[in-house]
Structure 1
């Protein structure tokens, strides 16, 4: 069987097997109940015949004059306590199951009353309870059959106790059970075939959309075209949700592949320029040593090295590499990073009012992007509050350095940095008084290799990875990085981390 039909086959086989077990169990229960019911009816018939004969004996009817039923339907045997046969049904040739196998009446059997008893004597005997029920066989006119027997004890007018054994045929009842059994056996395969066919058809209709999804996914895999989507049925059931989830996954994969494609293309473009410049300078230096621009070669090498480090960090962030977890004070880390910036062209005003620090975090702030060059000197003021966060000290310092570098490129006269503990968050804000960023471009600045019109110079604007790296680091720490407008009209970057 084809693999595509295996689910249908398993479902049909499973449903058929369950129905078969249920039907067999129900059939057995019905047959047992029917057999028990018919057996109870046979016991009642046998008891009724035994009582009818017992009433005659109790009334004093002679044994030879008893009105006994047809032996074929209800064989009757009357015996005394000693096992002597007193009367039997006509035509009864043998009997078993009553405890007394004899079928020939004793010639000395009485009449049920003494011969000298007054005919007007009203004295009668007494019919007792049913002694037992049992199953046996009787032969009538040469044919043996199964019977249910009932025994009734009766006392005749002479105060002698005799036993009346009467039977009821089981052949008709057994025939009824057998007919019911064969009817069930004949109908079972037909019913199971119907169940299997209906289950196969229903399952096929239910799984038809799944087969469509499978075919489309196979086509997507073969063509590598992630823009295609699987069909979504209108049923609103689990299959429809599976199709929607599959399309969402395909959309995410398409976006991821497109991002990686753009990333590789942009990275190749960004690497090409410094490598080409460095190669040109080295080739010129090899031919004319006196013309070698050694500082330019060093600058290109440093830029190439920084770009490679940025690309490596982005690759780690994309791989969801979890940063090291340690608790530190964000205000202290900020001041340490600012103190190390000896070349800023514009002073940095640091306000940590609301950020508690004891100076223990000023060492080891990290040099991951925190350094810069210029002619300015930072100004540090303010203390107090509680602003401890958890994460990688070096990567958080990298975010601070990238934000300060961006502010230094665009600020006119001042860069202001604030650290505040706000509820469950610690917020670091970096403001500049530069031209700001249009609202439509405030999300674009966090895209990789994006440089806006006023920052297209590679020498001033870098490769366009700094803010993208900063946001990825913030989100990897459970926080975020957003851009709004500063009170001075410039840009405000808000770096938010969970507070410890």
Structure 2
């Protein structure tokens, strides 16, 4: 579409340029015809007058008038006295009527001749020039427009194909390439280079995808291999608690807590892998009171400030998965808070919105999308060194998508980060 627009603009510009230049030239020509013709007419009349002066005394005034008469020139005889000091020839031109007058005094005949002529022929020629020139200029401009448009469309066709290729690639198609019909011209060379670049890029993407799949498979294999040892560690530590000293019991509690934490990470990783392989998580949506769910979460996490009305607010989603999403968001906020974590709930007839806000360091705008990728490490202030596994937000995003919900990160009024979960209120 852009190529066609460019071709059209160039053709119209050429058309307008030819019309403009033609009009200027025709106007200049038409305007120059009048003065030039007027000067020629006056010179002709002056020549007639000089002939009359030469014939003065040789012929009668009437004979002189007949001799110098020309088509288009009127000769009038006036009887008068001429002084010796008088000028023999007077010339005048009326600019309004375009009539030239030459008066010649004949001293020997004691008379004067008045020659008058109109420049109508010049006006006719000017109109003829305009009448023929204007249509000719229009026809010439149309021909140039058509020829230039055809040439431009032919020349710009490869660029249009490149544009279509870019649109196809942007829409997710792979393997499409340009068909190079004229490889020797500049656009053909560009097309060959573009095809080669696409081949290299697609090869790199395939390698990256293979590497990603290998890493995911390795992570899943490691997770499966660690499940049994971790369960054994927890079981052995719990059994040892019965006979251990008080100091050893404290160490065993730490071992059990960290082993269970590792188990939760492995469980989350396994769940996320299953979602990614299946396209989306399996859900069992129901209509439930989400305000009750938030009260239960807040009672388990006393540091969370709960802000919701007294009335019930219903949501339509998988209640268990929504609870998992919100618990992940709350635990993330508690890790990064300075003092406060606020849980808010609002609802309408169509949607339900839950907001989890903290007063921690926040998330810069450039990272608010990739923070939902697995194992993403942001700046030090929100890094996993504070206890996060790097998987909670990734699994929350996947579960939100599976339930037809939206989950995003924005700046909080408290100064930190705010995670917003927007659910459907009804089927």
TM superposition score normalised by structure 2: 0.48
* Greater Rg by CA: 1
The answer to which structure has the higher helix fraction is: 2
